[in-house]
């Protein structure tokens, strides 16, 4: 049986958090990432799960996410450290059957908890499920310092702003971390 740290979703989170840190998007613990999984994604790794998963109640029920697993970054965890110790900095959680809370199935060792932004991420996942019929699976919160600086310098005008940000690259790959299939996006944001 394969170890969960070699799964596509843990490796994808390692890659995404490492890239974000290297680009300066997530200083220290400033940012978080969640990826909605399927039951089939986590099923091969039940031997790696905690024997007694901790349960955390949500302040607001999320019935749309009932029985849904996620991989999440931990509260106060540095993106830089995810690659060094995934089990301490990431966690696989699963929302319970009525959406009232979740169990920490794997990771978030040493009594760590998911990002404090998890309720906002869950609400965002609900919105993206409804808007894209479930196709969007990633929510990332980051502090892209250079991009933020440009918002103070450039006029709020998409045709002017886009070439200064992503327009210098001919194509930007778009897709879910860890997935092999990507759709190309040109500099203007068109597929």
Domain assignment of residue 55, yes or no: yes
For residue 152, is it within any domain?
Answer: no
Active-site residues, by number, are 117
Q: Tell me the whole-structure pTM to 2 decimals.
A: 0.79
CB 187 within 8 A of CB 163: yes
Kindly state whether residue 43 falls inside one of the protein's structural domains.
Answer: yes
Q: How far apart are CA 34 and CA 53, in angstroms?
A: 19
Angle between helices 158-165 and 145-153 (to 10 degrees): 140
The pLDDT tens digits for 49-68 are 999 999 999 999 999 999 99
Residue 119 lies in a domain: yes
Q: What is the rounded distance in angstroms from the CA atom of residue 74 to the CA atom of residue 155?
A: 36
Residue 170 within any structural domain of the chain? no
Q: What pLDDT, in 10s, does the model give residues 170-187?
A: 444 444 455 554 444 444
122: domain CATH number? 3.40.225.10
Give the residue numbers spanning the domain of 53: 4-141
Closest CA to 75 of 62, 56, 59: 56
165 occurs within a structural domain: no
């Amino acid at each position: 049986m394969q170890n969960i740290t070699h799964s596509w979703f843990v490796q994808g989170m390692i890659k995404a958090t490492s890239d974000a840190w290297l680009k300066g998007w997530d200083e220290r613990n400033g940012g978080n990432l969640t990826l909605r999984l399927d039951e089939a994604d986590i099923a091969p790794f039940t031997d790696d799960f905690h024997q007694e998963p901790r349960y955390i109640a949500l302040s607001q029920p999320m019935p749309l996410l009932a029985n849904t697993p996620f991989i999440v970054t931990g509260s106060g965890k540095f993106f830089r450290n995810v690659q060094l110790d995934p089990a301490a900095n990431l966690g696989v959680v699963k929302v319970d059957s009525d959406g009232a809370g979740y169990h920490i199935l794997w990771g978030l060792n040493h009594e760590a908890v998911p990002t404090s932004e998890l309720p906002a991420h869950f609400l965002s996942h609900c919105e993206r499920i409804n808007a894209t019929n479930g196709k969007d699976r990633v929510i990332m919160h980051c502090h892209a310092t250079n991009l933020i600086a440009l918002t103070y310098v450039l006029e709020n005008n998409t045709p002017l702003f886009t070439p200064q940000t992503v327009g210098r690259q001919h194509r930007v790959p778009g897709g879910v971390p860890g997935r092999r299939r990507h759709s190309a996006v040109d500099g203007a944001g068109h597929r």
